[in-house]
Chains A and B, each alone.
Chain A
Amino acid sequence: MDYEVVIGLEVHAQLSTHSKIFCGCSTTFGAPPNTQTCPVCLGMPGVLPVLNRRVVECAIKTALACHGEVAPRCRFARKNYFYPDMPKNYQISQYDEPLVVGGHIEIPTPEGMKRIRLVRIHLEEDVGKSIHGEHLDDPHASYVDFNRSGVPLMEIVSQPDLSSPDEAKLYLQRLRTIVQYLEVCDGNMEEGSFRCDANVSLRLRGAREYGTKVEIKNLNSFRNVQRALEYEVIRQTKALDAGEKLPQETRLWDTTRSVTRSMRSKEFAHDYRYFPEPDLVPLATSREWVEAIRRTLPELPDTRMQRLVTEYGIPAYDAGVLTSSKALADYYEACIKRYPKPKLVSNWMMVELLRALNRDGIEVEQSRIAPENLAELLELVDDGTISGTMAKTVFDTMYETGKAAAEIVQEKGLRQISDENALVTAIEQVLANNPKEVSEFRAGREKLLSFFMGQVMKTTQGKANPHAVNKLLREKLAEKET
């Protein structure tokens, strides 16, 4: 049967402030256990929270970048439940009065830009971490480290506007780009600073009501998000096709077995008994404050992405890749300024440059090829100085040495040979050396043309102009035997 996939994502982004949300402990990742704690984030008797202003600023920036509405007044609330990694056995979060309502993110799908709406963004404190006993010492115990307790989190909830696992991945990538652009979060899923839970359901295409929603947790990389969702879609499809009723439940993604598993059903559904946090006063965000923050923002990634599409006519997908970091987008526009062929530059950057950067694990700011240099390289191809194939070799040398294209071509004598006489000489030499193949070609084996091409390129150390060689070869081979 034909089902529509409906996915909503909940992302918890750790804000990259120096100190925690309600106390002055450091937020640095990876410190020895319980060395970044204090009476406040340990929930000792008598302590009180005080809100880190920069946390609010980070959330406001994110709201602006996602076109959300910053509530003029909001409150914190207590979410009450018992768990060993929660020192107070309540989490200070926000409930019915969140900081941000609404908003949207554009994702660059192959079919073009798609708008994914947000429900809300709110602030809360992170909880500690526990290690199971078998990894440390006593298998009948767990060990709790409160370093992470109190680290500021921003929870971003999307509407169920995502229609496929691919879109989900794009959304996450886009959201991560935005928070990295704004420098509010480092977006590191593996280190846990960017976490995702998914809600997925299926319904018959065209149906108005939503199907049963299943929550998926433990998605700790983009790849796992996609795989888990793909698995869920298949699982739910099979179940629905077989006429089964899907229970509304929470499932865990099992990375080793590549399946989602149902969590043990609890006796009682969580009753969080939310009530307004009496130890904190309300948060009022004036228009002046929001505007002051808006003035500090760079051109937002979404805006820039749209602008690349409309101004340069490149596909949405390309625009998405090129704006995945501010530095990359800056590079692109600097390159086009000198060499105004947007799609060509885009191809070179996406294929050659990003491949090299990803291989070496560095950012574009650290690459030795300046945007002007890339432009120059492409000009040399345009004016026939080097062939397209040779350009890739030159590129690699540029990347390694930082030298300009023209300089490298000069030094290594890589100029393209387009002079017909020189080429004919080379071609005649190749044909003379391979009489057997020549006969075979003339007897009908057309494919040998590429063999001859290859030999000519070899003789000329790759410098022969391929188009010219092709043309001349055919002419020569077509000549009668002398």
Chain B
Amino acid sequence: MITREDVEHVAELARLELTAAEKEQFIAQLNNILTYFEKLNELDTSDVEPTSQVIPMSNVFRDDAVQPSLDRTKVLQNAPEESHFFFKVPRIIEE
């Protein structure tokens, strides 16, 4: 069902570098779990609305008022690497 290529593709989408052992394990475990999910096909849901929100609410807003921003020291405090008040990352290659 789920192949090695699928696992590699999904890992790429999720930005996870998997070892060969992890890939093998995931193929087996995910297949097991996905097979279990097929249970849901026993149910006819053609006329059923999907639920994304259990409590029926709409229109929660805030006013367009400026609030004080977070102090910059606190903003950068947890940064793995910062420089000149920016978050420093490996060079982004222009696509």
Interface residues of A, Cβ cutoff 8 Å to B = 17-19, 23-26, 32-39, 42, 50-56, 73, 75, 82, 84, 130-133, 136-146, 252, 263-264, 266-268, 271, 273, 276, 278, 280-284
Contacts and interface: CB of A to CB of B under 8 A. Distances in A.
The 5 closest A-B pairs by CB, nearest first: A24-B67, A143-B86, A54-B64, A53-B61, A144-B87
Interface stretch (B7-15, B24-32, B38-46): B7-15
A133 B90 CA distance: 9
Given A19-B67, A38-B70, A52-B62, 17 more contacts: A17-B64, A18-B65, A19-B64, A34-B86, A37-B75, A51-B62, A54-B63, A54-B64, A138-B88, A139-B91, A142-B91, A142-B92, A263-B95, A278-B53, A282-B53, A283-B58, A283-B59
Interface in B50-72: 52-53, 57-70, 72
| Interface SS of B by simple majority | loop
A281 B95 contact: no
Contact of A273 (B13, B57, B59, B95): B13
Centre residue among B66, B72, B87 by max chain A CB count within 10 A: B87
Interface residues of B, number: 36
Nearest to A134: B91
Contacts of B69: 25-26, 35-38
Contacts of B36: none
Contacts of B53: 278, 281-282
B62 A132 contact: no
B76 A34 contact: yes
Contact of B89 (A141, A278, A280): A141
18 contacts: A26-B69, A36-B69, A38-B70, A42-B75, A50-B61, A53-B61, A56-B61, A130-B89, A137-B83, A138-B83, A138-B88, A141-B90, A142-B88, A142-B89, A143-B83, A252-B94, A282-B53, A283-B59
